[in-house]
Chain A
Amino acid sequence: MADRVLMKGNEAIAEAAIRAGCRHYFGYPITPQTEIAAYMAKKMPKIGGVFLQAESEIASINMVYGAAAAGMRVMTSSSSPGISLKSEGISYIAASDVPAFIVNVQRGGPGLGGIQPSQSDYFQATKGGGHGDYHLIVLAPASVQEMASLTVKGFNLADKYRMAAMILADGTIGQMMEPISFENVEIETYDKPWALTGTGMKRKHNIINSLYLKPDELERINFQRYEKYRAIEETEPLYEAYRMEDAEICVVAFGIASRVAKNAVVTARNEGIKAGLIRPITLWPFPKKALRDAAAQVKAFVSVELNMGQMIEDIRLATECTRPVSLCCRTGGMIPDPGQVLESIRQAQKGVN
Protein backbone atom coordinates (compact mmCIF):
# COMPACT_ATOMS: atom_id res chain seq x y z
CA MET A 1 0.00 0.00 0.00
CA ALA A 2 2.82 2.35 0.88
CA ASP A 3 3.75 2.64 -2.77
CA ARG A 4 0.33 3.86 -3.87
CA VAL A 5 -0.76 7.48 -3.72
CA LEU A 6 -4.01 9.29 -4.52
CA MET A 7 -3.42 11.86 -7.22
CA LYS A 8 -5.19 14.24 -9.54
CA GLY A 9 -4.47 13.59 -13.21
CA ASN A 10 -2.67 16.90 -13.56
CA GLU A 11 -0.47 16.21 -10.55
CA ALA A 12 0.36 12.75 -11.92
CA ILE A 13 1.71 14.35 -15.10
CA ALA A 14 3.88 16.76 -13.12
CA GLU A 15 5.28 14.12 -10.77
CA ALA A 16 5.90 11.66 -13.63
CA ALA A 17 7.70 14.37 -15.62
CA ILE A 18 10.01 15.06 -12.68
CA ARG A 19 10.70 11.36 -12.30
CA ALA A 20 11.39 11.15 -16.03
CA GLY A 21 14.19 13.66 -15.56
CA CYS A 22 12.40 16.85 -16.55
CA ARG A 23 14.01 19.78 -14.71
CA HIS A 24 12.70 22.59 -16.91
CA TYR A 25 9.08 23.68 -16.95
CA PHE A 26 7.89 26.77 -18.79
CA GLY A 27 4.21 27.61 -18.86
CA TYR A 28 1.38 30.01 -18.39
CA PRO A 29 -1.65 29.15 -16.22
CA ILE A 30 -5.01 28.16 -17.70
CA THR A 31 -7.90 26.10 -16.35
CA PRO A 32 -8.26 23.07 -16.24
CA GLN A 33 -4.53 22.23 -16.14
CA THR A 34 -3.20 24.75 -13.63
CA GLU A 35 -2.34 22.05 -11.06
CA ILE A 36 0.55 21.00 -13.32
CA ALA A 37 2.13 24.44 -13.05
CA ALA A 38 1.27 24.68 -9.33
CA TYR A 39 2.91 21.30 -8.64
CA MET A 40 6.01 22.27 -10.62
CA ALA A 41 6.21 25.62 -8.83
CA LYS A 42 6.23 23.80 -5.51
CA LYS A 43 8.61 20.99 -6.43
CA MET A 44 11.13 22.30 -8.97
CA PRO A 45 12.92 24.72 -6.61
CA LYS A 46 13.40 21.86 -4.11
CA ILE A 47 15.17 19.62 -6.64
CA GLY A 48 17.33 22.11 -8.47
CA GLY A 49 14.96 22.45 -11.40
CA VAL A 50 13.52 25.47 -13.16
CA PHE A 51 9.87 26.52 -12.92
CA LEU A 52 9.16 29.62 -14.89
CA GLN A 53 5.81 31.24 -15.46
CA ALA A 54 6.44 33.13 -18.68
CA GLU A 55 4.70 36.31 -19.73
CA SER A 56 2.66 34.38 -22.31
CA GLU A 57 2.12 31.01 -23.96
CA ILE A 58 4.19 32.17 -26.93
CA ALA A 59 7.14 33.02 -24.70
CA SER A 60 6.88 29.75 -22.80
CA ILE A 61 6.94 27.51 -25.89
CA ASN A 62 9.99 29.35 -27.20
CA MET A 63 11.70 28.79 -23.85
CA VAL A 64 10.89 25.10 -24.31
CA TYR A 65 12.46 25.31 -27.78
CA GLY A 66 15.61 26.82 -26.32
CA ALA A 67 16.00 24.32 -23.50
CA ALA A 68 15.25 21.44 -25.89
CA ALA A 69 17.95 22.70 -28.25
CA ALA A 70 20.35 22.55 -25.30
CA GLY A 71 19.44 18.87 -24.85
CA MET A 72 17.34 19.24 -21.69
CA ARG A 73 14.25 17.24 -20.86
CA VAL A 74 11.78 20.09 -20.96
CA MET A 75 8.02 20.53 -20.95
CA THR A 76 5.15 22.93 -21.12
CA SER A 77 1.45 22.47 -20.44
CA SER A 78 -1.68 24.35 -21.34
CA SER A 79 -5.28 23.97 -22.38
CA SER A 80 -6.88 24.41 -25.77
CA PRO A 81 -6.66 28.18 -26.47
CA GLY A 82 -3.18 28.20 -24.96
CA ILE A 83 -2.05 25.39 -27.26
CA SER A 84 -3.24 27.41 -30.24
CA LEU A 85 -0.95 30.22 -29.09
CA LYS A 86 1.93 27.77 -28.73
CA SER A 87 1.40 26.23 -32.15
CA GLU A 88 3.86 28.44 -34.01
CA GLY A 89 6.59 27.45 -31.58
CA ILE A 90 5.59 23.78 -31.82
CA SER A 91 6.04 23.97 -35.59
CA TYR A 92 9.55 25.45 -35.08
CA ILE A 93 10.34 22.63 -32.63
CA ALA A 94 9.16 20.06 -35.18
CA ALA A 95 11.18 21.71 -37.94
CA SER A 96 14.29 21.78 -35.77
CA ASP A 97 14.02 18.10 -34.81
CA VAL A 98 14.36 18.70 -31.08
CA PRO A 99 12.55 16.64 -28.45
CA ALA A 100 9.99 18.36 -26.24
CA PHE A 101 7.03 17.35 -24.13
CA ILE A 102 3.74 19.24 -24.39
CA VAL A 103 0.53 18.70 -22.44
CA ASN A 104 -2.92 19.78 -23.61
CA VAL A 105 -5.65 19.28 -20.99
CA GLN A 106 -8.50 20.17 -23.32
CA ARG A 107 -11.48 22.40 -22.58
CA GLY A 108 -14.50 23.18 -24.68
CA GLY A 109 -13.93 25.20 -27.85
CA PRO A 110 -13.68 26.80 -30.32
CA GLY A 111 -12.51 30.24 -29.27
CA LEU A 112 -12.30 30.96 -25.57
CA GLY A 113 -14.94 28.24 -25.25
CA GLY A 114 -15.26 27.12 -21.66
CA ILE A 115 -13.48 25.33 -18.84
CA GLN A 116 -15.42 22.05 -18.93
CA PRO A 117 -13.88 18.93 -20.54
CA SER A 118 -13.58 18.37 -24.28
CA GLN A 119 -11.73 16.40 -26.96
CA SER A 120 -12.15 18.95 -29.69
CA ASP A 121 -8.42 19.48 -30.28
CA TYR A 122 -8.00 16.05 -31.90
CA PHE A 123 -7.47 17.55 -35.35
CA GLN A 124 -5.11 20.17 -33.98
CA ALA A 125 -3.00 17.56 -32.18
CA THR A 126 -2.92 14.84 -34.82
CA LYS A 127 -2.97 16.80 -38.07
CA GLY A 128 -0.52 19.54 -37.23
CA GLY A 129 -1.94 22.56 -35.46
CA GLY A 130 0.92 24.75 -36.47
CA HIS A 131 2.02 25.39 -40.04
CA GLY A 132 3.93 23.09 -42.34
CA ASP A 133 4.37 19.35 -42.77
CA TYR A 134 4.94 17.76 -39.39
CA HIS A 135 3.55 15.41 -36.78
CA LEU A 136 3.60 15.15 -33.02
CA ILE A 137 3.48 11.88 -31.15
CA VAL A 138 0.07 12.17 -29.49
CA LEU A 139 -0.74 10.11 -26.39
CA ALA A 140 -4.27 9.88 -24.99
CA PRO A 141 -4.46 8.76 -21.35
CA ALA A 142 -7.72 7.32 -20.01
CA SER A 143 -6.79 7.16 -16.32
CA VAL A 144 -4.67 8.97 -13.78
CA GLN A 145 -2.21 6.06 -13.90
CA GLU A 146 -1.86 6.56 -17.64
CA MET A 147 -1.37 10.30 -17.16
CA ALA A 148 1.80 9.25 -15.32
CA SER A 149 2.95 6.33 -17.47
CA LEU A 150 2.29 8.07 -20.80
CA THR A 151 4.15 11.14 -19.57
CA VAL A 152 7.24 9.01 -19.04
CA LYS A 153 6.66 7.34 -22.39
CA GLY A 154 6.23 10.73 -24.03
CA PHE A 155 9.63 11.92 -22.78
CA ASN A 156 11.24 8.66 -23.90
CA LEU A 157 9.69 8.76 -27.39
CA ALA A 158 10.50 12.45 -27.80
CA ASP A 159 14.18 11.80 -27.13
CA LYS A 160 14.21 8.61 -29.18
CA TYR A 161 12.81 10.28 -32.28
CA ARG A 162 13.97 13.87 -31.68
CA MET A 163 10.47 15.29 -31.95
CA ALA A 164 7.74 16.67 -29.74
CA ALA A 165 5.37 14.34 -27.92
CA MET A 166 2.03 15.56 -26.63
CA ILE A 167 -0.35 14.31 -23.96
CA LEU A 168 -3.86 15.01 -25.24
CA ALA A 169 -6.02 14.74 -22.13
CA ASP A 170 -9.23 16.48 -21.15
CA GLY A 171 -10.36 18.46 -18.15
CA THR A 172 -11.96 15.49 -16.40
CA ILE A 173 -8.87 13.30 -16.48
CA GLY A 174 -6.85 16.31 -15.41
CA GLN A 175 -9.09 16.97 -12.42
CA MET A 176 -10.18 13.48 -11.34
CA MET A 177 -8.38 11.56 -8.61
CA GLU A 178 -7.32 7.92 -8.65
CA PRO A 179 -4.79 5.80 -6.80
CA ILE A 180 -1.59 5.31 -8.77
CA SER A 181 1.93 4.01 -8.47
CA PHE A 182 5.24 5.16 -9.91
CA GLU A 183 6.86 1.76 -9.43
CA ASN A 184 7.28 0.77 -13.05
CA VAL A 185 8.68 4.01 -14.38
CA GLU A 186 11.21 3.09 -17.03
CA ILE A 187 13.35 6.00 -18.03
CA GLU A 188 15.25 5.63 -21.27
CA THR A 189 18.21 7.89 -21.88
CA TYR A 190 19.54 8.88 -25.27
CA ASP A 191 22.78 10.55 -26.27
CA LYS A 192 22.24 13.99 -27.73
CA PRO A 193 25.35 14.73 -29.79
CA TRP A 194 23.32 17.30 -31.73
CA ALA A 195 22.57 19.47 -28.67
CA LEU A 196 23.90 22.96 -28.13
CA THR A 197 26.04 22.27 -25.10
CA GLY A 198 29.16 24.25 -25.96
CA THR A 199 31.97 22.87 -28.12
CA GLY A 200 34.68 23.32 -25.53
CA MET A 201 36.81 24.03 -28.64
CA LYS A 202 36.85 20.27 -29.14
CA ARG A 203 34.26 19.73 -31.82
CA LYS A 204 32.53 21.50 -34.68
CA HIS A 205 29.61 23.61 -33.46
CA ASN A 206 26.06 22.29 -33.74
CA ILE A 207 23.26 24.25 -35.37
CA ILE A 208 19.59 24.08 -34.38
CA ASN A 209 17.53 25.93 -36.93
CA SER A 210 14.29 25.79 -38.88
CA LEU A 211 15.24 28.14 -41.71
CA TYR A 212 16.58 26.71 -44.97
CA LEU A 213 17.76 29.06 -47.68
CA LYS A 214 17.65 26.46 -50.47
CA PRO A 215 14.28 24.91 -51.35
CA ASP A 216 15.83 21.61 -52.44
CA GLU A 217 17.57 21.30 -49.10
CA LEU A 218 14.32 21.98 -47.22
CA GLU A 219 12.59 19.39 -49.39
CA ARG A 220 15.29 16.81 -48.66
CA ILE A 221 14.94 17.40 -44.91
CA ASN A 222 11.15 17.14 -45.10
CA PHE A 223 11.45 13.84 -46.98
CA GLN A 224 13.90 12.55 -44.36
CA ARG A 225 11.60 13.56 -41.54
CA TYR A 226 8.70 11.70 -43.13
CA GLU A 227 10.89 8.57 -43.36
CA LYS A 228 11.12 8.81 -39.58
CA TYR A 229 7.35 9.33 -39.29
CA ARG A 230 6.77 6.20 -41.40
CA ALA A 231 8.97 4.18 -39.05
CA ILE A 232 7.01 5.49 -36.07
CA GLU A 233 3.69 4.58 -37.70
CA GLU A 234 5.08 1.09 -38.19
CA THR A 235 6.35 0.47 -34.66
CA GLU A 236 4.71 2.75 -32.11
CA PRO A 237 0.89 2.54 -32.36
CA LEU A 238 -0.72 1.58 -29.04
CA TYR A 239 -4.30 0.67 -28.29
CA GLU A 240 -6.45 -1.32 -25.85
CA ALA A 241 -8.95 -3.88 -27.15
CA TYR A 242 -11.82 -4.69 -24.78
CA ARG A 243 -14.18 -7.62 -25.47
CA MET A 244 -13.29 -7.50 -29.17
CA GLU A 245 -12.79 -11.30 -29.58
CA ASP A 246 -16.28 -11.93 -30.98
CA ALA A 247 -17.49 -8.34 -31.34
CA GLU A 248 -19.96 -7.36 -34.07
CA ILE A 249 -20.13 -3.69 -33.13
CA CYS A 250 -16.85 -1.93 -32.47
CA VAL A 251 -16.98 1.20 -30.35
CA VAL A 252 -13.93 3.42 -30.80
CA ALA A 253 -13.17 5.99 -28.13
CA PHE A 254 -10.15 7.50 -26.39
CA GLY A 255 -9.55 9.24 -23.08
CA ILE A 256 -12.55 10.01 -20.89
CA ALA A 257 -14.99 8.99 -23.66
CA SER A 258 -13.54 5.46 -23.58
CA ARG A 259 -14.52 5.07 -19.93
CA VAL A 260 -18.12 5.95 -20.67
CA ALA A 261 -17.98 3.69 -23.75
CA LYS A 262 -16.64 0.77 -21.70
CA ASN A 263 -19.64 0.95 -19.38
CA ALA A 264 -21.95 1.05 -22.42
CA VAL A 265 -20.21 -2.01 -23.92
CA VAL A 266 -20.82 -3.94 -20.68
CA THR A 267 -24.51 -2.97 -20.72
CA ALA A 268 -24.83 -3.83 -24.43
CA ARG A 269 -23.29 -7.27 -23.77
CA ASN A 270 -25.86 -7.78 -20.98
CA GLU A 271 -28.54 -7.05 -23.59
CA GLY A 272 -27.06 -9.67 -25.90
CA ILE A 273 -25.38 -7.27 -28.33
CA LYS A 274 -21.84 -8.35 -29.12
CA ALA A 275 -20.12 -5.02 -28.60
CA GLY A 276 -16.44 -4.37 -28.10
CA LEU A 277 -14.17 -1.38 -27.66
CA ILE A 278 -10.97 -0.28 -29.34
CA ARG A 279 -9.32 2.49 -27.38
CA PRO A 280 -6.51 4.22 -29.27
CA ILE A 281 -3.76 5.13 -26.79
CA THR A 282 -1.59 6.76 -29.45
CA LEU A 283 -3.72 9.10 -31.56
CA TRP A 284 -0.71 9.70 -33.77
CA PRO A 285 0.44 7.20 -34.85
CA PHE A 286 -3.19 6.08 -35.11
CA PRO A 287 -3.64 2.30 -34.60
CA LYS A 288 -4.69 1.81 -38.22
CA LYS A 289 -3.94 -1.89 -38.37
CA ALA A 290 -6.12 -2.68 -35.35
CA LEU A 291 -9.02 -0.83 -36.98
CA ARG A 292 -8.40 -2.46 -40.35
CA ASP A 293 -8.37 -5.91 -38.72
CA ALA A 294 -11.56 -5.08 -36.79
CA ALA A 295 -13.28 -4.07 -40.04
CA ALA A 296 -12.84 -7.62 -41.30
CA GLN A 297 -14.76 -8.88 -38.27
CA VAL A 298 -17.39 -6.35 -37.19
CA LYS A 299 -20.40 -5.03 -39.06
CA ALA A 300 -20.25 -1.43 -37.88
CA PHE A 301 -18.20 1.09 -35.90
CA VAL A 302 -19.38 3.72 -33.43
CA SER A 303 -17.03 6.62 -32.74
CA VAL A 304 -17.61 8.21 -29.33
CA GLU A 305 -16.05 11.65 -29.03
CA LEU A 306 -16.34 14.86 -27.02
CA ASN A 307 -16.36 16.89 -30.23
CA MET A 308 -18.34 17.17 -33.45
CA GLY A 309 -16.64 14.12 -35.01
CA GLN A 310 -12.89 14.32 -35.58
CA MET A 311 -11.37 10.88 -34.90
CA ILE A 312 -14.20 9.41 -36.98
CA GLU A 313 -12.27 10.55 -40.08
CA ASP A 314 -9.25 8.47 -39.08
CA ILE A 315 -11.50 5.45 -38.45
CA ARG A 316 -12.96 5.82 -41.94
CA LEU A 317 -9.49 6.19 -43.47
CA ALA A 318 -8.08 3.23 -41.54
CA THR A 319 -11.00 1.01 -42.53
CA GLU A 320 -11.19 2.49 -46.04
CA CYS A 321 -14.93 2.98 -45.48
CA THR A 322 -15.57 -0.76 -45.71
CA ARG A 323 -18.00 -0.58 -42.77
CA PRO A 324 -20.42 2.12 -41.66
CA VAL A 325 -19.09 4.41 -38.92
CA SER A 326 -21.58 6.38 -36.85
CA LEU A 327 -20.87 9.21 -34.46
CA CYS A 328 -21.97 9.47 -30.83
CA CYS A 329 -20.92 12.81 -29.44
CA ARG A 330 -21.39 15.66 -27.04
CA THR A 331 -19.55 18.95 -27.23
CA GLY A 332 -19.01 22.27 -25.49
CA GLY A 333 -17.96 20.69 -22.20
CA MET A 334 -20.70 18.05 -22.07
CA ILE A 335 -19.97 14.33 -21.76
CA PRO A 336 -21.87 11.47 -23.44
CA ASP A 337 -23.94 9.43 -21.02
CA PRO A 338 -23.49 5.61 -21.08
CA GLY A 339 -27.16 5.49 -22.11
CA GLN A 340 -26.48 7.63 -25.19
CA VAL A 341 -23.57 5.40 -26.21
CA LEU A 342 -25.72 2.30 -25.62
CA GLU A 343 -28.42 3.74 -27.88
CA SER A 344 -25.82 4.33 -30.61
CA ILE A 345 -24.64 0.71 -30.24
CA ARG A 346 -28.27 -0.51 -30.54
CA GLN A 347 -28.78 1.59 -33.69
CA ALA A 348 -25.53 0.30 -35.20
CA GLN A 349 -26.63 -3.26 -34.44
CA LYS A 350 -29.90 -2.62 -36.28
CA GLY A 351 -27.95 -1.22 -39.23
CA VAL A 352 -29.22 2.31 -38.68
CA ASN A 353 -26.72 5.12 -39.02
Chain B
Amino acid sequence: MEHRRVTLFAGHYGSGKTNIAVNYALLLAGEGKKTVIADMDIVNPYFRTADSAKELEAAGVDLVSPQFANSNVDLPALPAEAYRLVEDKSVYAVMDIGGDDRGAYALGRYVPYIREEGDYRMVFVANASRPLTRTPADALEVMREIEAAGGLAFTDLVNNTNLAHETTPQTVLASQEYMAELSRISGLPVWLTTAEETVAAGLQGKLPDLLPMKLQAKYFDLPDDRKQPPKPRPLFG
Protein backbone atom coordinates (compact mmCIF):
# COMPACT_ATOMS: atom_id res chain seq x y z
CA MET B 1 0.00 0.00 0.00
CA GLU B 2 1.28 3.42 -0.95
CA HIS B 3 1.09 6.07 1.79
CA ARG B 4 1.07 9.83 1.75
CA ARG B 5 2.62 11.91 4.50
CA VAL B 6 -0.72 13.24 5.73
CA THR B 7 -3.91 11.19 5.69
CA LEU B 8 -7.15 12.83 6.75
CA PHE B 9 -10.28 10.80 7.51
CA ALA B 10 -13.52 12.73 7.28
CA GLY B 11 -17.14 11.81 6.62
CA HIS B 12 -20.65 11.60 7.98
CA TYR B 13 -20.73 11.18 11.74
CA GLY B 14 -20.85 7.55 12.76
CA SER B 15 -19.29 6.41 9.49
CA GLY B 16 -16.33 4.83 11.32
CA LYS B 17 -13.62 7.46 10.92
CA THR B 18 -12.06 6.95 14.33
CA ASN B 19 -11.76 3.15 14.04
CA ILE B 20 -10.24 3.49 10.59
CA ALA B 21 -7.83 6.25 11.63
CA VAL B 22 -6.62 4.17 14.61
CA ASN B 23 -6.18 1.01 12.53
CA TYR B 24 -4.46 2.89 9.71
CA ALA B 25 -2.06 4.50 12.19
CA LEU B 26 -1.30 1.06 13.63
CA LEU B 27 -0.66 -0.22 10.10
CA LEU B 28 1.79 2.62 9.40
CA ALA B 29 3.60 1.98 12.68
CA GLY B 30 3.68 -1.72 11.84
CA GLU B 31 5.55 -0.82 8.64
CA GLY B 32 8.14 0.92 10.79
CA LYS B 33 7.01 4.46 10.06
CA LYS B 34 7.14 7.15 12.68
CA THR B 35 3.43 7.88 13.07
CA VAL B 36 1.35 10.52 14.83
CA ILE B 37 -2.43 10.37 15.08
CA ALA B 38 -4.51 13.40 16.02
CA ASP B 39 -8.04 13.40 17.36
CA MET B 40 -9.44 16.49 15.65
CA ASP B 41 -13.05 15.77 16.64
CA ILE B 42 -14.70 18.88 18.05
CA VAL B 43 -18.22 17.42 17.84
CA ASN B 44 -18.48 13.98 19.35
CA PRO B 45 -18.57 13.74 23.16
CA TYR B 46 -17.98 9.97 23.48
CA PHE B 47 -16.07 7.12 21.76
CA ARG B 48 -12.89 8.87 20.76
CA THR B 49 -9.39 8.16 19.50
CA ALA B 50 -8.19 8.47 23.08
CA ASP B 51 -10.14 5.27 23.90
CA SER B 52 -7.35 3.43 22.03
CA ALA B 53 -4.53 5.27 23.80
CA LYS B 54 -2.99 2.06 25.20
CA GLU B 55 -2.92 0.20 21.87
CA LEU B 56 -1.47 3.24 20.12
CA GLU B 57 1.21 3.72 22.75
CA ALA B 58 2.15 0.03 22.62
CA ALA B 59 2.59 0.33 18.85
CA GLY B 60 4.71 3.46 19.22
CA VAL B 61 2.11 5.79 17.69
CA ASP B 62 2.04 9.28 19.19
CA LEU B 63 -1.46 10.46 20.10
CA VAL B 64 -2.41 14.11 19.98
CA SER B 65 -5.73 14.53 21.68
CA PRO B 66 -7.80 17.50 22.83
CA GLN B 67 -7.14 18.27 26.47
CA PHE B 68 -10.77 17.75 27.35
CA ALA B 69 -11.47 14.54 25.38
CA ASN B 70 -13.59 12.07 27.38
CA SER B 71 -13.95 14.57 30.21
CA ASN B 72 -16.98 16.50 31.40
CA VAL B 73 -15.79 19.65 29.67
CA ASP B 74 -17.84 20.17 26.52
CA LEU B 75 -15.30 22.51 24.96
CA PRO B 76 -14.44 22.17 21.26
CA ALA B 77 -10.78 23.12 21.57
CA LEU B 78 -7.79 21.61 19.78
CA PRO B 79 -4.31 21.52 21.30
CA ALA B 80 -1.47 23.62 19.91
CA GLU B 81 0.40 20.33 19.53
CA ALA B 82 -1.84 19.48 16.57
CA TYR B 83 0.33 21.81 14.43
CA ARG B 84 3.04 19.20 14.75
CA LEU B 85 1.20 17.03 12.23
CA VAL B 86 1.51 19.62 9.50
CA GLU B 87 4.85 21.14 10.52
CA ASP B 88 6.96 18.08 11.34
CA LYS B 89 7.49 16.53 7.92
CA SER B 90 9.49 13.62 9.35
CA VAL B 91 6.35 11.88 10.59
CA TYR B 92 3.41 10.17 8.98
CA ALA B 93 0.33 12.06 10.16
CA VAL B 94 -3.16 10.60 10.53
CA MET B 95 -5.93 13.08 11.22
CA ASP B 96 -9.29 11.94 12.58
CA ILE B 97 -11.70 14.72 11.66
CA GLY B 98 -15.06 15.20 13.40
CA GLY B 99 -18.28 14.21 11.65
CA ASP B 100 -20.09 16.16 8.94
CA ASP B 101 -19.43 19.77 7.99
CA ARG B 102 -19.60 20.80 11.65
CA GLY B 103 -16.61 18.57 12.42
CA ALA B 104 -14.70 19.69 9.35
CA TYR B 105 -14.60 23.34 10.43
CA ALA B 106 -11.72 22.35 12.71
CA LEU B 107 -9.65 21.54 9.64
CA GLY B 108 -9.48 25.02 8.16
CA ARG B 109 -6.47 26.34 10.03
CA TYR B 110 -4.27 23.40 8.96
CA VAL B 111 -5.31 23.35 5.31
CA PRO B 112 -2.85 25.98 4.01
CA TYR B 113 0.08 23.89 5.36
CA ILE B 114 -1.36 20.63 3.98
CA ARG B 115 -1.96 22.17 0.54
CA GLU B 116 1.47 23.78 0.39
CA GLU B 117 3.21 20.50 1.16
CA GLY B 118 0.91 18.68 -1.26
CA ASP B 119 1.58 15.17 0.06
CA TYR B 120 -1.79 14.22 1.47
CA ARG B 121 -4.82 12.07 1.04
CA MET B 122 -8.22 13.51 2.04
CA VAL B 123 -10.41 10.48 2.54
CA PHE B 124 -14.19 10.30 2.62
CA VAL B 125 -15.35 7.41 4.80
CA ALA B 126 -18.62 5.93 3.57
CA ASN B 127 -21.00 3.52 5.25
CA ALA B 128 -23.95 2.64 3.04
CA SER B 129 -25.88 1.40 6.09
CA ARG B 130 -26.15 4.85 7.66
CA PRO B 131 -29.63 6.30 7.19
CA LEU B 132 -28.60 9.85 6.24
CA THR B 133 -26.14 8.57 3.60
CA ARG B 134 -28.35 5.76 2.29
CA THR B 135 -27.87 6.75 -1.34
CA PRO B 136 -24.66 7.77 -3.14
CA ALA B 137 -26.34 11.14 -3.82
CA ASP B 138 -26.87 11.66 -0.05
CA ALA B 139 -23.21 10.81 0.55
CA LEU B 140 -22.07 13.22 -2.18
CA GLU B 141 -24.12 15.98 -0.52
CA VAL B 142 -22.31 15.33 2.78
CA MET B 143 -18.96 15.29 0.93
CA ARG B 144 -19.65 18.70 -0.61
CA GLU B 145 -20.71 20.13 2.79
CA ILE B 146 -17.50 18.85 4.40
CA GLU B 147 -15.35 20.23 1.59
CA ALA B 148 -17.02 23.63 1.89
CA ALA B 149 -16.52 23.72 5.67
CA GLY B 150 -13.02 22.26 5.76
CA GLY B 151 -11.65 23.98 2.69
CA LEU B 152 -10.04 20.83 1.31
CA ALA B 153 -11.34 18.66 -1.54
CA PHE B 154 -11.57 14.91 -1.09
CA THR B 155 -9.08 12.79 -3.03
CA ASP B 156 -10.16 9.24 -2.11
CA LEU B 157 -13.04 7.14 -0.82
CA VAL B 158 -13.03 4.40 1.81
CA ASN B 159 -15.81 1.84 1.91
CA ASN B 160 -16.57 1.12 5.57
CA THR B 161 -20.06 -0.26 5.06
CA ASN B 162 -21.01 -2.19 8.18
CA LEU B 163 -23.84 -3.07 10.55
CA ALA B 164 -21.64 -3.33 13.66
CA HIS B 165 -21.72 -6.88 15.07
CA GLU B 166 -24.24 -7.99 12.43
CA THR B 167 -21.78 -7.31 9.59
CA THR B 168 -21.08 -10.24 7.29
CA PRO B 169 -18.88 -10.39 4.19
CA GLN B 170 -22.13 -10.15 2.23
CA THR B 171 -22.90 -6.77 3.88
CA VAL B 172 -19.65 -5.43 2.44
CA LEU B 173 -19.96 -7.10 -0.96
CA ALA B 174 -23.52 -5.81 -1.36
CA SER B 175 -22.21 -2.24 -0.96
CA GLN B 176 -19.92 -2.47 -4.00
CA GLU B 177 -22.59 -1.10 -6.29
CA TYR B 178 -23.17 1.87 -3.96
CA MET B 179 -19.44 2.60 -3.87
CA ALA B 180 -19.09 2.31 -7.64
CA GLU B 181 -21.85 4.88 -8.06
CA LEU B 182 -20.35 7.19 -5.41
CA SER B 183 -17.01 6.84 -7.17
CA ARG B 184 -18.64 7.69 -10.51
CA ILE B 185 -20.51 10.79 -9.34
CA SER B 186 -17.61 12.09 -7.22
CA GLY B 187 -14.89 11.18 -9.70
CA LEU B 188 -12.79 9.69 -6.86
CA PRO B 189 -11.28 6.22 -6.50
CA VAL B 190 -12.15 3.73 -3.76
CA TRP B 191 -8.78 3.60 -2.03
CA LEU B 192 -9.62 1.02 0.65
CA THR B 193 -12.35 -1.23 1.94
CA THR B 194 -12.30 -1.61 5.70
CA ALA B 195 -13.89 -4.32 7.80
CA GLU B 196 -13.60 -5.84 11.25
CA GLU B 197 -10.93 -8.53 11.01
CA THR B 198 -13.20 -11.60 11.23
CA VAL B 199 -15.43 -10.12 8.51
CA ALA B 200 -12.36 -9.14 6.49
CA ALA B 201 -11.16 -12.76 6.64
CA GLY B 202 -14.24 -13.70 4.61
CA LEU B 203 -13.44 -11.01 2.04
CA GLN B 204 -9.84 -11.99 1.30
CA GLY B 205 -9.32 -12.43 -2.41
CA LYS B 206 -12.75 -10.98 -3.19
CA LEU B 207 -11.79 -7.33 -2.82
CA PRO B 208 -8.57 -5.47 -3.57
CA ASP B 209 -7.09 -3.09 -0.99
CA LEU B 210 -8.67 -4.50 2.13
CA LEU B 211 -7.81 -3.13 5.58
CA PRO B 212 -8.81 -5.57 8.35
CA MET B 213 -9.54 -3.72 11.58
CA LYS B 214 -9.32 -4.63 15.24
CA LEU B 215 -12.26 -3.08 17.07
CA GLN B 216 -12.37 -2.48 20.78
CA ALA B 217 -14.77 -4.52 22.88
CA LYS B 218 -17.02 -2.17 24.81
CA TYR B 219 -18.48 -2.52 28.27
CA PHE B 220 -22.00 -2.33 26.89
CA ASP B 221 -21.60 -5.13 24.33
CA LEU B 222 -24.18 -7.82 25.07
CA PRO B 223 -23.09 -11.41 25.75
CA ASP B 224 -24.63 -12.70 22.48
CA ASP B 225 -23.25 -9.93 20.28
CA ARG B 226 -19.66 -10.25 21.31
CA LYS B 227 -16.90 -11.79 19.23
CA GLN B 228 -14.40 -11.59 22.06
CA PRO B 229 -14.80 -11.02 25.81
CA PRO B 230 -14.21 -7.47 27.09
CA LYS B 231 -10.93 -6.67 28.72
CA PRO B 232 -11.30 -6.11 32.46
CA ARG B 233 -11.02 -2.49 33.54
CA PRO B 234 -9.96 -1.26 36.96
CA LEU B 235 -12.87 -0.46 39.25
CA PHE B 236 -11.76 3.02 40.09
CA GLY B 237 -9.43 5.45 38.46
Contact = CB atoms under 8 A, between A and B. Distances in A.
A78 interface: no
Interface in B35-87: 44-47, 70-72, 74
B14 interface: yes
Contact of B232 (A1, A5, A256, A337): A337
B202 interface: no
B127 to A, nearest CB: 6
Contact of B230 (A39, A178, A263): A263
A272 B47 CA distance: 34
A348 to B, nearest CB: 17
Contact of A175 (B46, B171, B219): B46
Interface string A185-217: 000000000000000000000000000000000
Contact of B129 (A5, A259, A338): A5
A77 B164 CA distance: 26
B166 A32 contact: no
B235 A340 contact: yes
Given A116-B72, A179-B166, A333-B72, A338 B219 contact: yes
Contacts of A179: 129, 163-166
B162 interface: yes
A150 interface: no
Interface stretch (A107-115, A229-237, A308-316): A107-115
B72 A115 contact: yes
Contacts of A113: 72
A4 B164 contact: no
Interface stretch (A6-14, A49-57, A159-167, A244-252): A6-14
Nearest to B220: A259
Given A338-B230, A340-B235, A263 B163 contact: no
Contacts of B115: none
A171 interface: yes
A84 interface: no
Contacts of A262: 222-223
A31 interface: yes
Interface string B206-231: 00000000000011111100000010
A177 interface: yes
Interface string B126-159: 0101111010000000000000000000000000
Contact of B235 (A35, A42, A339): A339
A60 interface: no
Interface of A: 1, 4-8, 11, 15, 31-32, 35, 39, 42, 108, 113-117, 143, 171-172, 175-179, 256, 259-260, 262-263, 266, 333, 335, 337-340
Interface of B: 13-14, 44-47, 70-72, 74, 127, 129-132, 134, 162-166, 170-171, 174, 218-223, 230, 232-235
